Amino acid sequence: MQTTQLQTSPTVTAYIGLGSNLSDPKRQVSNAAKAISAIPSSNVVALSSLYLSKPMGPQDQDDYINAVIAIETKLSALQLLDALQTIENNAGRVRKDNRWGARILDCDILLYGDETINNERLTVPHYGMKVREFVLLPLAEIAPTLYLPDNSSVSKLASEINSNGILRL
């Protein structure tokens, strides 16, 4: 009699940046966190406070609500990306050519374990995370001892970044 062994994927801690500045942004970010908690083979381990931040791009748009959520997941990075894009689409996200424009919901994989990923669909660590206060400050709140794959300290980066008037709510 032959037995079949189940293949189990290792659990990885992923950090996801959340942002919105349209259609009740606090509700959008809260709903995204709830939807992320329902992703199969994943568990939420931490959720930052909400932060109010100025837009990165054109200043003729509303301020953003941002947060960072940490999950433990058995999904691959691309499976997680697919799940997050489904959450964005279900919230009404429309992808436009205007990269820095207003949006109903943005869910960005900031870190996926200590992996470095660079393909046509996903770049991890997120390419702009070291220079964005609305990423570093909530990330440092929930993971103060975290180091990036390049050995940068999240707490050190957060303490040195210009806050640009960000407000913790």
Q: Which residues are catalytic?
A: 93, 103, 106, 108
Strands 64-73 and 12-20: antiparallel
Check residue 153 and report its DSSP letter: B
SS3 content of the chain, % helix, strand, coil (to 5): 30, 25, 45
HEC sequence for 83-115: HHHHHHHHCCCCCCCCCCCCCCCEEEEEEECCC
Paired tokens of 101: 């424009």
